[in-house]
Structure formats: structure tokens, C-alpha cells
Homo-oligomer: A and B are copies of this chain.
Amino acid sequence: MELESENLEKVSFLVLGWLRVKRLPRNFLSQVVEIAEHAKKIAKDDPRKVFHSLKVGLALTLVSLFYYFQPLYSNFGVSTMWAVMTVVVVFEFSVGATLGKGLNRGLATLVAGALGLGAHHLANITGKIGEPILIGIFVFLQAVASTFIRFFPRVKARYDYGMLIFMLTFCLVSISGFRTNDLLDLAHKRLSTILIGASTCLVVSIFVCPVWAGDDLHMLVALNLKKLGNFLEGFGDEFSNSSEAKESENDISLLVGMNSILDSKNKEETLANFASWEPGHGQFMYRHPWKQYLKIGNLTRQCAFRVEALNGYLNPKTQASKEINGMIEEAFSNMSSESGIALKELALAIETMTMPSSPNRHITNLKMASKNLKSLLKSNFCENTNLLQIIPVAAIASLLIETAICVEHIAEAVNELASLANFKQPDSNGVAENSSKDEISHVISINGPTLEGATGQSLTP
């Protein structure tokens, strides 16, 4: 009996083990499938990422040709690898980032190479014993100074990579000088191979499906305004049918959009930094007022804070009593719809780069609606209720009024941008609308399908 149970145990153990082993490749397979699906999603959300990968491959293959052909190789020898390194390190997603890194690398190599040669020459004079000591001191001082300078906020923002390459090249040139005789040749080869690598990156980056950081910033700011506008318009509908307030899928996608607005500060600043490196392209001249986009972005976020707070009050649990709702809901609905429409018009003006109409009709409507709401609130209709019941209504009213003020500020900032960047005058043939549709589909491809709910809706300017 005991023997039998022992056998049974052994058999079951073997079976379990076998099942586990059998499941192993299936688990592995399911993981591979998962990763593949993830990759497919990334590629579908932004096909430019696939193109970028192909561009990097192309640039690397081009540069590696220097290794394969004897006449090219004989010029630079082993230094050719600096060109390969430069491509790997410098090639970034947008033209601005690539250009910024390339210029940083090139200039830093030039300056540091010259200084390194000077340091080597100076140390060389002092003789065999003094040389390593003096070079050691130079390297130490240079490393301390460069590292500290990297903490300067303005340097960190634009020249951090340049400082790194400065340190690197200075060390390489001055230290190598101790072992290599033909130091000038080393410095010259390093500089020219880096120039070859960087220019390969730039040519591929600019001429093969270019990705401009400036375009992205432009569309991101417009898209955020539009998302906020859609959200506010959605509020308008919710106020008028507040009885059947429910969380639909559309609401959730709108909420995701809201969070992306609140979190976009960092992205906007990075893009503005890259954009400032970019040459003129398409509709943008060289010194396009990129900083103004940051201002509009900040105002959009301030407005989004208010809208977020508003959203908290639209929870059915905190709805004020019906009688108040009945009296005031039209004013609320009016306010938020007008705010939304005004924001969407501003977004369209940015997208199509046309002057927003001035005086803006929707801003005027909004001011009127704000005035109406205030006068409605002045009439004493709170006698029968206690303050606790009025709080949500009062808070919503107050937030709507503040939102309207924010929208006015945004309109001012957009007008400022329009005059700084010489936006074109609107024409009445509906050309703006047509061109905007193209750009909207472009934005969707930048920002992925999660935003389709927010951007797929038709725009009524």
C-alpha cells in the first residue's frame, strides 16, 4: 500500500514536472506575442518611430562604408570608429535634437582639441618628469571646472552634452599626447571623423522624412487647447442633461486627455529647446517665437486646473438640489459651451496659422454669459436652502467665472503669438478649414489613438 502511494506520488510529480516543462515554451511564446503586440501598438500610434529606426540604420550603414572601402579607410584608419560612435550617439528623434547634439559635439571637440594640444605643448616643455604631473594637474582642474559649469541651469539646458564632450576630448588629447607622437594627427582625425558622423546624421535626419520638434510643439499646444475645449463643451451637455449623468467611455478618454494636458509641461519645454536649434522649415521661419508657445501652454494648464476642479463637482453625488439646478443650469451650460467653443477656435487658429478673428465673437459671448451668470447669482433665490446645499452651485459658478477669465488670457496670448509669428489673415473660402483637417490627422498620428476621442470630433470654427 505504502509502496503504491509512493509510486503514485512519483508519477504525479513527474506529470506535474512534465506539464510545467511543456508549459515553459508556451509561456515564453505568450510573452513574445505580448511584446510583439506592444511593439505593433507603438508603431501604429506613431509610425514616425519606425521611420526613425530605419533612418538610424541607414546612417550607420552609410558611415560603416568607410570601413569597407580601402581608399576611404586609408585616410582615417582606426579613427573611423569615431564616425560610427558619433552617429549612434548624436542621432536623435527630431531634427532640432540631432542638430543641437551635433553642433555641441563638433564645437566642443574643436575647442577642447585645441586646448588639449596647448596643454600638451606646455607640459612638454617641462621635461620628462614634469610632464605627467603637469598634465595630471590640467586634467584634474579641467574636470572639476567643467563638471561644476554643468550645474549652471542655462548651460545644463542647452550645452550639457557639449560640456561632456569637452571633458572627454580634452582628456583624450592631452593624456594621449604622453604616448602618441603625432598628436596633431590624432586631434585632426578625431575632429574630421566626428564631422563626417555628425553631417551624415544631419543629412539623413533632415532629408529623409524629417521630424521637426517645432512642428510637434506647435501641434501639441494646439491639441491641448482643443482637448480642453472639447472637455468644456462636454460639460455644457452634461449640465443640460444632468439627470442622466453617467460615465461613458468618451468621458474616460476625455479625462485621459486632461491628465496629458496637466503633465505636458516638461514635454513642451524639451520641444521648445530642440525647436530653437532648428533652421526655418515649412511655415516656420528661423526665429519663430517658440517661447510664446510655452506661455500659452502654461495658461492652458492653469485653465485645466480649474476644469479639473469643475469636474470634481459634476460627480452625481455632489449635485446641488434640483430646484437650483433648474434655475441656473442654462447659465452654466451656456458658460462652459462658450468657453469650449472659444478655446477650440483658438486651437484652430494656431493649427492653421491664421489670425484669430478680433474682436473674437466667442470671447464676447463668453463675457456676456459671465455677466448674465453674475446677475443671476445676485437675485436672492437661496432663502429656502442652507449654505451647505448652495456650496456646489456657488463653487461651480465661481470656477466657471475663473475659467472664463483664463480663456480670455489664453486668447490674448494666442493673439500675441499671431502677431509675433505673422499668422496669415483668414480668408472666407474655408481654405483654413480644409488645411486644418490634414493637420489634425497628422496630430492624431503623433499622439496616438488614445486621443482620437478628443480630436476625432468635427471642428466648428
Contact = CB atoms under 8 A, between A and B. Distances in A.
Contacts of A263: 265
A143 interface: yes
Interface string A40-66: 001100000110111011101100100
B390 A148 contact: no
Given A88-B171, A152-B38, A308-B305, A60 B143 contact: yes
A395 B377 CA distance: 14
A168 B85 contact: yes
A417 interface: no
Contacts of A398: 391-392, 394-395
A175 interface: yes
A453 interface: no
Contact of A394 (B68, B394, B402): B394
B38 A148 contact: no
Contacts of A383: 380, 382-383
Contacts of A284: none
A442 to B, nearest CB: 19
Contact of A56 (B73, B88, B147, B305): B147
B390 A387 contact: yes
A151 interface: yes
A385 B382 CA distance: 9
Given A60-B143, A305-B305, 9 more contacts: A52-B147, A57-B144, A84-B172, A88-B143, A88-B167, A374-B388, A379-B387, A380-B383, A382-B386
